[in-house]
Protein backbone atom coordinates (compact mmCIF):
# COMPACT_ATOMS: atom_id res chain seq x y z
CA UNK A 1 0.00 0.00 0.00
CA UNK A 2 2.84 2.41 0.76
CA UNK A 3 4.10 2.16 -2.83
CA UNK A 4 0.66 3.23 -4.08
CA UNK A 5 0.69 6.17 -1.66
CA UNK A 6 4.18 7.13 -2.86
CA UNK A 7 2.98 6.98 -6.47
CA UNK A 8 0.14 9.42 -5.77
CA UNK A 9 2.41 11.73 -3.78
CA UNK A 10 4.82 11.86 -6.74
CA UNK A 11 1.90 12.71 -9.04
CA UNK A 12 0.65 15.46 -6.71
CA UNK A 13 4.13 17.05 -6.67
CA UNK A 14 3.66 17.83 -10.37
CA UNK A 15 0.95 20.31 -9.34
CA UNK A 16 2.08 21.71 -6.00
CA UNK A 17 4.87 21.50 -3.46
CA UNK A 18 4.24 18.72 -0.96
CA UNK A 19 5.70 17.61 2.34
CA UNK A 20 4.66 14.54 4.29
CA UNK A 21 5.32 14.77 8.00
CA UNK A 22 4.78 11.96 10.44
CA UNK A 23 4.71 11.71 14.19
CA UNK A 24 5.52 8.70 16.33
CA UNK A 25 2.53 6.56 17.30
CA UNK A 26 1.96 5.91 20.97
CA UNK A 27 1.19 2.44 22.24
CA UNK A 28 -2.00 1.91 24.18
CA UNK A 29 -1.43 0.12 27.48
CA UNK A 30 -2.80 -0.21 30.98
CA UNK A 31 -0.35 2.51 32.01
CA UNK A 32 -1.33 4.74 29.10
CA UNK A 33 -5.06 4.84 28.35
CA UNK A 34 -6.50 5.95 25.00
CA UNK A 35 -7.03 9.57 26.09
CA UNK A 36 -3.38 9.93 27.09
CA UNK A 37 -2.24 8.33 23.83
CA UNK A 38 -4.30 10.84 21.84
CA UNK A 39 -3.03 13.80 23.91
CA UNK A 40 0.61 12.80 23.41
CA UNK A 41 0.17 12.23 19.67
CA UNK A 42 -1.83 15.46 19.46
CA UNK A 43 0.97 17.43 21.09
CA UNK A 44 3.45 16.09 18.53
CA UNK A 45 1.07 16.97 15.69
CA UNK A 46 0.46 20.48 17.08
CA UNK A 47 4.22 21.08 17.22
CA UNK A 48 4.37 20.65 13.43
CA UNK A 49 1.55 23.11 12.69
CA UNK A 50 2.21 26.74 11.80
CA UNK A 51 0.18 29.90 12.11
CA UNK A 52 -1.80 30.39 8.92
CA UNK A 53 -2.16 26.68 8.13
CA UNK A 54 -5.50 25.58 6.73
CA UNK A 55 -6.02 22.37 8.68
CA UNK A 56 -8.14 19.49 7.43
CA UNK A 57 -8.42 16.64 9.93
CA UNK A 58 -9.72 13.26 8.86
CA UNK A 59 -12.40 11.91 11.17
CA UNK A 60 -15.15 9.37 10.66
CA UNK A 61 -17.70 11.99 11.79
CA UNK A 62 -16.45 14.76 9.48
CA UNK A 63 -18.00 16.37 6.44
CA UNK A 64 -18.17 14.29 3.28
CA UNK A 65 -17.50 15.69 -0.19
CA UNK A 66 -17.88 14.40 -3.71
CA UNK A 67 -14.59 14.42 -5.61
CA UNK A 68 -15.71 17.51 -7.54
CA UNK A 69 -16.74 19.44 -4.40
CA UNK A 70 -13.46 18.44 -2.73
CA UNK A 71 -11.57 19.73 -5.77
CA UNK A 72 -13.51 23.01 -5.65
CA UNK A 73 -12.72 23.39 -1.95
CA UNK A 74 -8.99 22.86 -2.48
CA UNK A 75 -9.02 25.24 -5.43
CA UNK A 76 -10.70 27.98 -3.31
CA UNK A 77 -8.16 27.49 -0.53
CA UNK A 78 -5.22 27.65 -2.94
CA UNK A 79 -6.67 30.67 -4.73
CA UNK A 80 -7.25 32.46 -1.44
CA UNK A 81 -10.93 32.98 -2.26
CA UNK A 82 -12.18 34.14 1.12
CA UNK A 83 -9.49 32.03 2.75
CA UNK A 84 -5.92 32.97 3.52
CA UNK A 85 -3.66 30.02 4.15
CA UNK A 86 0.08 29.50 4.00
CA UNK A 87 -0.40 25.82 3.35
CA UNK A 88 -3.05 23.13 3.44
CA UNK A 89 -2.36 20.52 6.11
CA UNK A 90 -4.17 17.18 6.07
CA UNK A 91 -4.02 15.27 9.34
CA UNK A 92 -4.63 11.53 9.44
CA UNK A 93 -4.71 10.16 12.96
CA UNK A 94 -3.16 6.98 14.21
CA UNK A 95 -4.86 3.76 15.22
CA UNK A 96 -6.91 5.49 17.93
CA UNK A 97 -7.94 8.58 15.98
CA UNK A 98 -7.15 12.22 16.73
CA UNK A 99 -7.06 14.27 19.88
CA UNK A 100 -10.10 16.56 20.29
CA UNK A 101 -7.80 19.61 20.52
CA UNK A 102 -6.44 18.89 17.02
CA UNK A 103 -9.94 18.41 15.64
CA UNK A 104 -11.09 21.66 17.29
CA UNK A 105 -8.11 23.52 15.79
CA UNK A 106 -9.01 22.27 12.31
CA UNK A 107 -10.77 24.37 9.70
CA UNK A 108 -12.53 21.28 8.39
CA UNK A 109 -13.17 17.82 9.75
CA UNK A 110 -13.24 15.60 6.67
CA UNK A 111 -14.69 12.12 6.37
CA UNK A 112 -13.59 9.86 3.53
CA UNK A 113 -16.28 7.34 4.42
CA UNK A 114 -18.98 6.77 6.99
CA UNK A 115 -16.98 3.64 7.84
CA UNK A 116 -13.85 3.76 9.96
CA UNK A 117 -10.76 3.12 7.84
CA UNK A 118 -7.32 1.97 8.98
CA UNK A 119 -5.05 5.00 8.87
CA UNK A 120 -2.83 3.55 6.12
CA UNK A 121 -5.86 2.98 3.89
CA UNK A 122 -7.15 6.47 4.72
CA UNK A 123 -3.77 7.89 3.64
CA UNK A 124 -4.05 6.05 0.31
CA UNK A 125 -7.62 7.20 -0.35
CA UNK A 126 -6.72 10.78 0.66
CA UNK A 127 -3.65 10.85 -1.61
CA UNK A 128 -5.70 9.56 -4.53
CA UNK A 129 -8.45 12.12 -3.92
CA UNK A 130 -5.97 15.00 -3.68
CA UNK A 131 -4.45 13.89 -6.97
CA UNK A 132 -7.92 13.54 -8.47
CA UNK A 133 -8.77 17.07 -7.23
CA UNK A 134 -5.87 18.54 -9.17
CA UNK A 135 -6.81 16.64 -12.32
CA UNK A 136 -10.38 17.93 -11.97
CA UNK A 137 -9.10 21.51 -11.58
CA UNK A 138 -7.20 21.12 -14.85
CA UNK A 139 -9.87 19.08 -16.68
CA UNK A 140 -7.40 16.26 -17.23
CA UNK A 141 -8.60 12.85 -18.41
CA UNK A 142 -7.89 11.01 -15.11
CA UNK A 143 -10.83 12.69 -13.40
CA UNK A 144 -13.40 11.90 -16.11
For residue range 85-139, what is the model confidence (pLDDT) as tens digits? Answer: 779 999 998 888 899 999 999 999 999 998 888 889 999 999 999 999 999 999 9
Position 122 in a domain: yes
Position 92 in a domain: yes
The total number of structural domains in the chain stands at 1
144 has pLDDT over 90: no
**Residue ranges of E strands in 74-129:** 87-91, 108-110
Whole-structure pTM value: 0.90
The per-residue pLDDT for 86 is 79
The per-residue pLDDT for 60 is 86
Q: Could you list the residue range(s) of the whole structural domain that residue 112 is in?
A: 2-138
**Residue ranges of E strands in the chain:** 53-63, 87-91, 108-110
Position 144 in a domain: no
Amino acid sequence: MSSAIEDYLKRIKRYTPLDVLSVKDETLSVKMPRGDVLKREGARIAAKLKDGDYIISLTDSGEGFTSHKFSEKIERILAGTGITARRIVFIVGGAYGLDEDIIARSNISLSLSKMTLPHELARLVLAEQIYRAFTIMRSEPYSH
